[in-house]
Structures are given as structure tokens and as C-alpha cells.
Amino acid sequence: MSIHYEGIVERHKIMTNDRTQSTQGTPANDFPTESFEDPAAAVARLSAIYEANTAFLRDAFARYRRNEQFTHRVRACYPFVRVRTELNSQIDSRRSYGFVAGPGIYETTLTRPDLFGDYYREQLRLLTKNHHVGLEVGVSAHPIPIHFAFAEGIHLEGDLDRDRLLAMRNIFDTPDLALLDDRIVNGTYEPGPGEPHPLALFTAARVDFSLHRLRHYTATSPTHFQNYVLYTNYQFYIDEFVKLGRTMMSRADDEETRAYRSEYSSFVEPGDVITYNANLGEQPEEGSQAARLPQMPAYHLKRADGSGITMVNIGVGPSNAKTITDHIAVLRPHAWIMLGHCAGLRNTQRLGDYVLAHGYVREDHVLDDDLPLWVPVPALAEVQVALERAVAQVTQLEGVELKRVMRTGTVASVDNRNWELRDHREPVRRLSQSRAVALDMESATIAANGFRFRVPYGTLLCVSDKPLHGELKLPGMADQFYRAQVDQHLQIGVKAMELLRENGLSRLHSRKLRSFAEVAFQ
């Protein structure tokens, strides 16, 4: 959601009349840049700009589908918000977001106010509170790609022939990779002379790209994603989460149970199948089951305020883990946690024991270019405490007995599923030197991307095999293990998220994740 890039500014600096012109004229409303003191009014203004410009594009595309002839390029641009600060403000040093690094001009492009409206209002409220500045809202020079003018995507199959598809780019703007990179997130973006500094980690186009990718990968709308996200690498966990979600939606006679279930409003499955909470009133189920499961199906136990729990089956491997977290990050979740299986590396561990990661050996390689290996990925105290408390509450163990079933230590993540087949001497030596207690393929990737995207992260794994000690994951053993352990592990993950929610955001978002010149938006 941020600003101009070197080399792109001139290409996109088109006068307002040019960037909105078509054979049928300009968008219905003209939006000069205006200043606002009230964040709600500022968001209302950017919403009006966004809705007018995307409606204009959708209307033009409808005419294009009807084979109308266009003599001018059709263009409409994202809204922006800008602040100007002249003095260093005295900011509460305990804050992790909501303020800019110093005097200057800060700007970002914005998208989907229908989805991010509450988020925008809160970020802008903090800016005005901390810096006592006005908010400038107007139309940016960054075109909205035609694909992103449709919130749920445009479906062209059978509508346009090959020639018309190819001709689209001559009439409409299409996604520009130069506006979709992660240089702000990675700390490598530097504004050119006279260019504003970024207010947010992502450009509007980068956000839109990820929103469309999320639907593709998870078969659910981005509107259903909740602020607390669980990742898993096994379908068994999803089966238990679905069972939990459907149970939570069913009517309860016991008053305490009914009160707890009523905290959640609905449960959403792939295909945007929505089951509403019967304790809040009878409503028919919506949506239809997806014809086939997507690559990384998502399930959402929703709360009315968005602070429910989403669970995603990322499958096996660091590539999937990076892909999905790259896209979920634009939703600015409050926390994400990996729940999955791992290989126990210590002889004292037993199948079914838990591993609470306090460090990572990153041999997944998928993030090496974005987050160098010399960057430490620290454990976050708030998440660690919530996970440990959740294990204690669900297992009803404490003290020495709790330590017998949960070990804190380093988790190694690798990109080779058959690492056991290599000459043991080299990998075993490195694992021993790192003091690793568990090995998997996803946890370090999810933690590292949490660090990179400033999303609080954690890992709680369950030992499902011990390959260094002759206890391999074979079908019979696995089935018995899964039946006995998965339900408890999932309960722990859900409980940890509920504890994090109860503790409040001010304690969760950590200054550990801030860079030297951090953006203002969380």
C-alpha cells in the first residue's frame, strides 16, 4: 500500500484527464486532493474515489465485452493518503506502529476500503493523534489494473476470443510487476529525490494481487479471513478444525457453552460455504462446496469483529509456506502460528511430545534473497507465553510434568523431505551443532516471513517420528498417533489464539519487528 518507485514515476505521471479518459469520457466524479482532520471522513473520501474509479473501469470493460470501439486508453487510478510532518514528535517509546520516523512527506496508495475500512481508520487515527497533522486524500498517478477493479476477479472464459484478450492491454492497464515487489517490506526501497516516504508496507496494487491470489489458493474470499491464523501441514488437523467449527455453530443447551459458542458468528469452508451460529438465530447455510479442494484450503471460524481464527492447510514444503504467507500478510493479521508434525531429534523425546520453537535453523532457502540468513528470527515472548499457557490448560499439566510433554528448543526447517537418505554424518553434525530438537519443512519459513512482514509468529510442533532413533513415520504407526494426538494439539492452538486475543493488541505487536525507519501502518 505505498508509493512511487524509481523509473516508474515518469511512466505513470499522467495528467488527470489522460489517466481517466476513454471514448465515453471520464469517471462520474472529479476528486481534487483535499485535507481532512477526521480519519473517518478521510476514509469516506478515499472510499468514494475508489468506488467511482473501479465502477468506471467495470463499466468500460462491460462495453469492451460488447465489442464497442475505443479510441483512447481507459485509465483510472488508486486513491492515496498523505501526511506532512515538520517536527519530530515526542512519541511514546513503547509504541510499535502509528507514527512516522521523522519530518517529511509520507504517502501510500490504498485499495478495497470495503475490506480495510476499519484498519485504515485506526491507522489514520493513530497518525493524527501522534503527530497532530491533517490527512490529504486524492487520486494517485498509479493506475488500477482492470483485473483488480473486480473484487472477485473477472472471468473471461468464452467471453473474449484470443485477439480481444491480447488487445485488452492496449485499452486497459494490466498488473505491472514493477509495482508488486516487496522492497518496502524488505527494507531495500529508497525514495528518489522529491518523492514521499512510504506510509505502509504494501502498494495498493500489491495488496490487490495478493487478494486475488488468496481466493485462487484457498477457495475462500479474502473477506472471510480472520486476524488470528493457524497453519498446518496435515489434513488431519483440518478435519478436527472442521469438526470444531461445525460443533461451535450448533445450538447448546448449557448456558456457559452457549455463551462461549456465541462468541463466534459463522464457520466458512472452501467454496465460501457459510454455516451460521444457531445460538445467534437460525439462518440457512450459504454457498456451495468447491468442486475440488484448492492447493491450500482455508477454513474460518469467524467473529463479528474479525478476531476469529482462520486455519490453512499449507501442505508440505517451504515453497507453499512462503506463498501463502506472502499473500495473507497484506490482510495484516495480528498473529500466525504453525501447528504441525516434526521429526524429534533427541533420544529423550517421545512420539506425541510437543516442541515450542524458540529459535530456527533456516535451511528452507526460499527466503534467502528476501531475508538474509544472518538475520536472527527471535522468539516473541507474548506468543511463547500464550502457547505454553495453552499447553498447560489443555493437558492439565504443570511444572515438571508439563516439561515432560513439551520441550522448548531450536527447530530446523529443510527443503529436502528425504533428508534422511543422505549420508548421515554431515546433516547430523550440523543439527547437533545447532542444538536443534526438531526438524520440519515449514516452521522457519512461516516464522521468517512473520518477522519480515511484521506479523507476530510462533511455532508449536508435535513429534510424529524419530528417524535418527529408528522410529519412522510408517502408515500403521501414523494412524494410531494421529487419532490420539491431533485433537489435543488443535485445541492447544485454538486456546493460544484466544489467549492472545484476550491479552490485547498493545501487548502483542512487538517493537522487535520494527526496522530503523519503519512505516507508520501496522
Q: What are the φ and ψ backbone dihedral angles of 287, each rounded to 5 degrees?
A: 85, 175
CATH homologous superfamily, domain 219-508 = Nucleoside phosphorylase domain (3.40.50.1580)
252-273 pLDDT, tens digit per residue, is 999 999 999 999 999 999 999 9
CA dihedral 462, 468, 469, 472 (to 10 degrees): 60
Cell representation of residue 290: 468447491
Q: Using CA of residue 471, residue 475, residue 477, residue 482, what is the dihedral sign? A: positive
Of the candidates 454, 450, 452, 449, the residue with the CA atom closest to the CA atom of residue 511: 454
Confidence band of 469 (pLDDT split at 50, 70, 90): very low
CA dihedral 278, 283, 287, 292 (to 10 degrees): 20
Do the Cβ atoms of 361 and 436 come closer than 8 Å? yes
129-162 pLDDT, tens digit per residue, is 888 899 999 999 999 999 999 988 887 656 788 8
14 or 517: which leads in pLDDT:
517
Whether 94 shows a pLDDT value over 80: the answer reads: no
Q: Whole-angstrom Cα distance, residue 138 to residue 46?
A: 7
Q: Whole-angstrom Cα distance, residue 439 to residue 343?
A: 5
With 0-12 / 13-18 / 19 or more C-beta atoms within 10 angstroms meaning exposed / middle / buried, residue 521 is buried
Q: Whole-angstrom Cα distance, residue 343 to residue 351?
A: 9
330-383 pLDDT, tens digit per residue, is 999 999 999 999 888 888 888 889 999 999 999 999 999 999 999 999 999 999
> Residue 406: how many CB atoms within 10 A of its CB?
20
Confidence band of 180 (pLDDT split at 50, 70, 90): confident
Q: What are the φ and ψ backbone dihedral angles of 150, each rounded to 5 degrees?
A: -110, 110
> Residue 322: how many CB atoms within 10 A of its CB?
22
- Angle (deg, nearest 10), helices 39-65 and 113-131: 150
Confidence band of 166 (pLDDT split at 50, 70, 90): confident
Whether 98 shows a pLDDT value over 90: the answer reads: no
Cell representation of residue 77: 487510478
Out of 144-158, 296-310, 400-414, pick the least confident.
Answer: 144-158
* pLDDT value at residue 24: 47
* pLDDT value at residue 181: 87
25-56 pLDDT, tens digit per residue, is 456 557 999 999 999 999 999 999 999 999 99
| 62 contacts: CB under 8 Å, gap ≥ 6 | none
181-228 pLDDT, tens digit per residue, is 899 999 999 898 989 999 999 999 999 999 999 999 999 999 999 999
Residue with cell 479474502: 222
Residue with cell 516464522: 447
Do the Cβ atoms of 203 and 209 come closer than 8 Å? no
Of the candidates 185, 184, 178, the residue with the CA atom closest to the CA atom of residue 143: 178
* pLDDT value at residue 97: 80
Of the candidates 342, 346, 351, the residue with the CA atom closest to the CA atom of residue 439: 342
Cell representation of residue 55: 465502477
Q: Whole-angstrom Cα distance, residue 219 to residue 291?
A: 10
* φ/ψ bin of 108: left (φ > 0), alpha (ψ from -120 to 50), beta (otherwise): beta
CATH topology of domain 9-213: amp nucleosidase, domain 1 (3.30.1730)
Return the domain boundaries, the chain. 9-213, 219-508
State mean pLDDT over 297-322.
Answer: 96
State mean pLDDT over 124-129.
Answer: 92
Exposure of 294 in the CB half-sphere (CA atoms within 13 A): 24
- Report the range out of 11-15, 116-120, 156-160, 232-236 with the highest average pLDDT: 116-120
Do the Cβ atoms of 137 and 49 come closer than 8 Å? yes
Whether 83 shows a pLDDT value over 70: the answer reads: yes
| 240 contacts: CB under 8 Å, gap ≥ 6 | 486, 487, 490
411-459 pLDDT, tens digit per residue, is 998 887 666 666 666 677 877 788 888 999 999 999 999 999 999 999 9
* pLDDT value at residue 317: 92
* pLDDT value at residue 328: 98
Mean model confidence pLDDT for the chain: 87
Label the pairing between strands 273-276 and 104-109: unpaired
Do the Cβ atoms of 295 and 315 come closer than 8 Å? yes
11-28 pLDDT, tens digit per residue, is 333 333 343 344 344 565
Helix residue ranges per DSSP H, 13-137: 16-19, 39-65, 113-131
> Residue 33: how many CB atoms within 10 A of its CB?
13
Cell representation of residue 7: 523509473
With 0-12 / 13-18 / 19 or more C-beta atoms within 10 angstroms meaning exposed / middle / buried, residue 502 is exposed
Residue type at 86 in one-letter notation: E
> How many Å separate Cα 454 from the centre of its chain?
10
